[in-house]
Structure 1
Amino acid sequence: MAASAVAYLAYSNSGVSNSREITWQEFRTAFLDKGLVEKLTVVNNHKVRVKLHSNATGSMYPTGTLSGEYHFSIGSVEAFERKLDEAQQELGIPSHERIPVAYQDEISAVGAILNFAPTVLMLGFLYWMSRRSSGGSGGGIFSIGKSRAKLFNQDTDVKVKFKDVAGMDEAKEEIMEFVKFLKEPAKYEKLGAKIPRGAILSGPPGTGKTLLAKATAGEASVPFLSVSGSEFVEMFVGVGSSRVRDLFASAKKNAPCIIFVDEIDAIGKSRAKSGSFGGGNDERESTLNQLLVEMDGFGTNEHIVVLAGTNRPDVLDPALMRPGRFDRHIAIDRPDVSGRKGIYMVHLRPLRLAEELAKDMGSFAQKLAVLTPGFSGADIANVCNEAALHAARKGSDYVGSINFDTAIERVIVGLEKKSRVLSPEEKKTVAYHEAGHAICGWFLEHADPLLKVSIIPRGAGALGYAQYLPADRYLLSTPQMNDRICMTLGGRVSEEIFFGPENITTGAQDDLQKITRMAFEACANYGMNDVIGPVSYGGDRATKEGMTKPFSEKTAEMLDFEVRKMITNAYERTRILLTEHREDVEKVAKLLLDKEVITREDMINLLGKRPFIGRSDDMDKWLDEHRGETSAPPPLEGSPQAEVDDPAPIPGLATAKALDDTRLL
């Protein structure tokens, strides 16, 4: 069809392209005046094609051209008709013998291409968009409503087992029921039991939710359909619902199988919170509605389990969380010491460790677990990888203990800034600031024991930091919170004692922000203030999320007064403590200026053991048994879980005190 169109265009243009262009004067003198013109054809209102009589072949003008193929251009049809009538009238040609004039519209090949170019470009753009939206998997625009779930076959792809997942024993035990049901459904069905429809895996980022879901599929030896929640929402209306239907249709074909929806909060947010300000929310709601229907619609004998991962379970719709859809709510928190040891064992196996570490890998993994409180599985994997990278940069053949120490410091506070040279005054200020924190932590009963303190500039603005090993504590009492506030204020108070109130630096801004948040939470949320009473206003978080404060102006004044009172009392208590131990602060500061990094063993050598009975941790016990060794101690089994340096029992990274260089200037 295309070839015939091209042939037609070529044929239709042959008359003009092969003819010779002449002027009006040449036409009149050579053809019209001599009576050689048989017919004139006006083409597209701007060219006139001349057809000569057949007996004019012998008297061509000019010679050497093809007969009968001439044309000339005109400005307008009206002017051409007027000039032609005048010329024939001058020649005395009667009206019935005058030259016939025909009118014809023709199109050139170039013109045809230009006319069709926008359509061709539009079709090409649509084809490219369909290929891009389908991910290059074929199907084009017709597959836009198909599910993007990736199918892992149990024989080839899902190789992860529960032995590869460490640090979440309770979650593995709870999810084992799904594995047992998918392996032996008859054992449960004969008793009338129904398969749980699904489970929500919730927890902080990096704790292994996706890994646990994949291990479940690997243990059950069933297909595993993995999809992200954001892949259901597109710019086209109805695509999300169509993809949900296609996902469950694929699951039914591969049953028994597991569907894993990662980051389900992208489509599962509460419909009451999402609002109705535009079509995007309506599309998300229709996708959620379709998901609710599918989860409550497929039969219990189809052996399909839906697992979903999210780190924001509080925003999910209640209809999605009810029994019958997601029956199990499995919380995967940051691992404790024993869990971190198991995760280290998994990630240490592929590494080429030094001989002394490889011989006693369990003890070394326990040491690393205690040194990294609050780390998630992803953080631990990053530490092991950074240690191997550091060993490679140094040209080592094996990964040693020093590489892991450097990797842990890099993950917590960043790289050492060798180009950042502090002046003697700034270095002294940082040393006394960190010494104040260290002494407060050493002589306050409920403070966290110090692990390491450094004044080496690291990371983005960290001029010094102190690392602690918190005890296994999920609740904070009033004395514990007061001691923690005093320890945080130790740096600021130390600067005031040794350099005077007029020379206090801006490096304590981070400390002041922390204690202000602690004090506000204690008064407004935890009910730890006698004046305000046992009430909770939701704390700082509720104030930020709400448009108005959840308390009156009078209560706000009371809160402001009590928070300031709590901080000033702690400030005075810290001043008295550091004044009593002024010599100890100077000892620690001078040792810091000399060595730049001091450890728990250095603190014991300087100040003796902490003066509190029953407050020794595993590192203190190890130091008692291994006096004189310089390597870092591997703590004993059952070390307490590390807690973050926050007022609320919310998991976080290891405590790292940092001074900001911009605040010191």
Structure 2
Amino acid sequence: MYPQAGAGGQYYFSIGSVEAFERKLDEAQSELGIPSHERIPVQYHQEISTGSTLLSFAPTILLIAGIWWMSRRASGGGGGGGIFSMGKSRAKLFNQDNQVNVKFKDVAGMDEAKVEIMEFVKFLKEPQRFTKLGAKIPRGAILSGPPGTGKTLLAKATAGEASVPFLSVSGSEFVEMFVGVGSARVRDLFQSAKKHAPCIIFVDEIDAIGKARGKGNMGGNDERESTLNQLLVEMDGFGTNEHIVVLAGTNRPDVLDPALMRPGRFDRHIAIDRPDVSGRRGIFDVHLKPLRLADNIKNSSDFAQKLAVLTPGFSGADIANVCNEAALHAARRSADYVESVDFDTAIERVIVGLERRSRVLSPDEKKTVAYHEAGHAICGWFLEHADPLLKVSIIPRGTGALGYAQYLPADRYLLSTPQMRDRICMTLGGRVSEEIFFGLENITTGAQDDLQKITRMAFEACANYGMNGVIGPVSYGGERASQEHWNKPFSEKTAERLDDEVRKMIVDSYERTRKLLTDHRADVEKVAQRLLEKEVLTREDMIDMLGKRPFAGRADDMDKWLEKNRGEPSAPPNFPETDIPTPSPAYKEKDP
């Protein structure tokens, strides 16, 4: 709205362009005859929009914010430092304020390793006791063993017993795509350790940076090798008066660089294997304490022993998983206490997977699976060196197993030729049983996994263990060497001879298994029919049907436990000296 004529005020209007406005203004003033010195002066005042100004700077602001975010992420998102803190160590420090509460009493199943690593506790607690005699404190120790055996737990227990700061870091945290970052982090780690000395450094999965140099390097600068070189320098023996112990854990000690394993760096090599029966019982005692057990097993001193017998080859992590699965199973059925049936279900789930009641087999398929598993069971029962049966089931489990037979392997490290042949015959039992009862034309694909196992065992016996008289006492590295090398480590003529001997060994075992099952045809029928009726058979069921195994002095831990709980007199077992705990897992057959 414009003001009235003659009144003061301001007028607002839009113009097309500055040049056109000035030209039209001059023309209007000329027509009105206004002298040039009285004409209206034109002044311009530019107004800037805040929004448009910020919009013009938006790309620059986004670039700066992106650089800042990347630097924060590179530094772990912690308290500052940005890209300049990439060389800082990522080790977690456990000290007096955040101390390690794990003690040696919390670690079971590795008594020998605890005795050996206890020396490090004494070194850190009383260094003068050793230095006054001129001894030097060991620089470090390698803890090697299968996954889940408690390497990290043992390192924490060492720090907890010594009551010293504990620096924990993973080997993969030293590896970055930026050159020099890994070496800088190693230097920072040892500088931090010197500030907190005496202390313990634990490097988990050290094979990430400690692999042998010169392998797999296609030229140029290898950041992993630079990191390893810096670690070797830090552990090279300088500053031996600094009370710093370096512990490292790995599942693959065979790939570590020899310079890392020499005396003066990692002085001790501590092997932590899977626990034996007594070790598993100790681990079960530790993990059963937090559970709310039923009274009938809580007050039983033999329950942990029974669980230890039922879990051959289990590591500490497997046992912890069994206890946890048992508690979860009890919670799913809304029970107030964890009972024995929960542990039986948990052990089966860990070994062969979850039971699949939704997979319904046809009567013919169920009958085939029953006779297949009965063949395995009879071979394991009547072969002297075979692993005795622990449980057999025809309930589908896991992703492809229609049935399974679980055995209790003897505690041994060595495997003789008769034991190898009996194990092959036992594995062939399912296939031979199908042929005997259903005919050669009706053999199913269920034995495919068995055939793979026996072929692998026979090849290892001939090509690796020197158990064949024709091939002779030579070792070509077995199947592993054939897979790792571009060329086979033997000639074509030897390869043909190996093929012939492997096939001959399997065929001879096949005929031996056929004769055994033919002689015990009635027993196979009995076991198969009982399987079709009950679906699951245990060691007690096998003893009730067939009697005890006809081999004197071959009682295993399960037989001794059954005799003790039945109140029967138990003959002293005649175990050979080599019957010591085997690291192999529980032997089981899965039929796809």
Query: Under a length normalisation based on structure 2, what TM-score does the superposition of the two structures give?
Result: 0.91
CA 1:82–1:316 in structure 2 vs 1: closer, same or farther (change >3 Å)? farther
Instruction: Name the aligned partner's letter for residue 63 of structure 2.
Output: M
Contact 1:154 1:218 in 2 (8 A): no
User: Match for residue 463 of structure 1?
Assistant: 402
Find the partner of 2:274 among 334, 338, 346.
Answer: 334
Moved more, 610-619 or 128-137: 128-137
Q: Which has the larger radius of gyration?
A: 1
Instruction: Name the aligned partner's letter for residue 135 of structure 1.
Output: G
Q: Structure 1: how far apart are the matches of 2:559 and 2:188?
A: 59
Q: Structure 2: how far apart are the matches of 1:93 and 1:269?
A: 96
User: Match for residue 72 of structure 2?
Assistant: 131
Find the partner of 2:373 among 423, 434, 448.
Answer: 434
User: Match for residue 28 of structure 1?
Assistant: none
User: Match for residue 217 of structure 1?
Assistant: 159
Unaligned runs of 5+ in 1: 1-57, 644-650, 661-665
1:349 corresponds to 2:317: no
Contact 1:337 1:641 in 2 (8 A): no
Q: What pairs up with 1:294-443 in 2 under 5 angstroms?
A: 294-296=234-236, 298-361=238-301, 363-443=302-382
Q: What pairs up with 1:124-523 in 2 under 5 angstroms?
A: 124-141=65-82, 142-154=84-96, 156-276=98-218, 282-296=222-236, 298-361=238-301, 363-523=302-462
1:120 corresponds to 2:61: yes
Moved more, 365-374 or 115-124: 115-124
Q: Structure 1: how far apart are the matches of 2:99 and 2:312?
A: 34
Greater than 6 Å deviation, 4+ residue runs: 79-95, 97-107
Deviation at 1:388, TM superposition (A): 0.9
Find the partner of 1:525 among 425, 439, 464.
Answer: 464
Q: Structure 2: how far apart are the matches of 1:87 and 1:531?
A: 122
CA 1:212–1:70 in structure 2 vs 1: closer, same or farther (change >3 Å)? same
User: Match for residue 541 of structure 2?
Assistant: 602
Secondary structure of the corresponding residue to residue 452 of structure 1: strand
CA 1:494–1:193 in structure 2 vs 1: closer, same or farther (change >3 Å)? same
Deviation at 1:238, TM superposition (A): 1.7
Contact 1:434 1:464 in 2 (8 A): yes
Deviation at 1:84, TM superposition (A): 11
Instruction: Name the aligned partner's letter for residue 546 of structure 1.
Output: H
Secondary structure of the corresponding residue to residue 535 of structure 1: coil
Q: Structure 2: how far apart are the matches of 1:504 and 1:525?
A: 32
1:653 corresponds to 2:568: no
Q: Structure 2: how far apart are the matches of 1:255 and 1:512?
A: 58
CA 1:622–1:368 in structure 2 vs 1: closer, same or farther (change >3 Å)? closer
Secondary structure of the corresponding residue to residue 151 of structure 1: strand
Moved more, 417-426 or 499-508: 417-426
Secondary structure of the corresponding residue to residue 308 of structure 1: strand
Instruction: Name the aligned partner's letter for residue 588 of structure 2.
Output: A
Instruction: Name the aligned partner's letter for residue 197 of structure 2.
Output: A
- 1:374-421 CA-to-partner distances (Å, cap 9, x unmatched) read 000000000011111111111221111111111111111111111111
Deviation at 1:99, TM superposition (A): 12
Instruction: Name the aligned partner's letter for residue 530 of structure 1.
Output: G
Secondary structure of the corresponding residue to residue 179 of structure 2: coil
Q: Structure 1: how far apart are the matches of 2:258 and 2:21?
A: 83
Instruction: Name the aligned partner's letter for residue 468 of structure 1.
Output: Y
Instruction: Name the aligned partner's letter for residue 412 of structure 1.
Output: I
Instruction: Name the aligned partner's letter for residue 300 of structure 2.
Output: D
Matched residues, percent identical?
A: 79
Secondary structure of the corresponding residue to residue 246 of structure 2: strand
Secondary structure of the corresponding residue to residue 529 of structure 1: coil
Q: What pairs up with 1:520-559 in 2 under 5 angstroms?
A: 520-559=459-498
Q: Structure 2: how far apart are the matches of 1:430 and 1:332?
A: 39
Aligned residue pairs: how many?
Answer: 585
Q: Structure 2: how far apart are the matches of 1:119 and 1:148?
A: 32
Deviation at 1:87, TM superposition (A): 11
Instruction: Name the aligned partner's letter for residue 61 of structure 2.
Output: V
Secondary structure of the corresponding residue to residue 305 of structure 2: helix
CA-atom RMSD in angstroms: 3.0
Secondary structure of the corresponding residue to residue 266 of structure 2: coil
CA 1:103–1:414 in structure 2 vs 1: closer, same or farther (change >3 Å)? same
Q: Structure 2: how far apart are the matches of 1:528 and 1:423?
A: 43
Q: Structure 1: how far apart are the matches of 2:551 and 2:263?
A: 50
Unaligned runs of 5+ in 2: none
Query: Under a length normalisation based on structure 1, what TM-score does the superposition of the two structures give?
Result: 0.81
Deviation at 1:157, TM superposition (A): 2.6
Secondary structure of the corresponding residue to residue 143 of structure 2: strand
CA 1:290–1:72 in structure 2 vs 1: closer, same or farther (change >3 Å)? farther
Deviation at 1:569, TM superposition (A): 0.9
Moved more, 85-94 or 470-479: 85-94
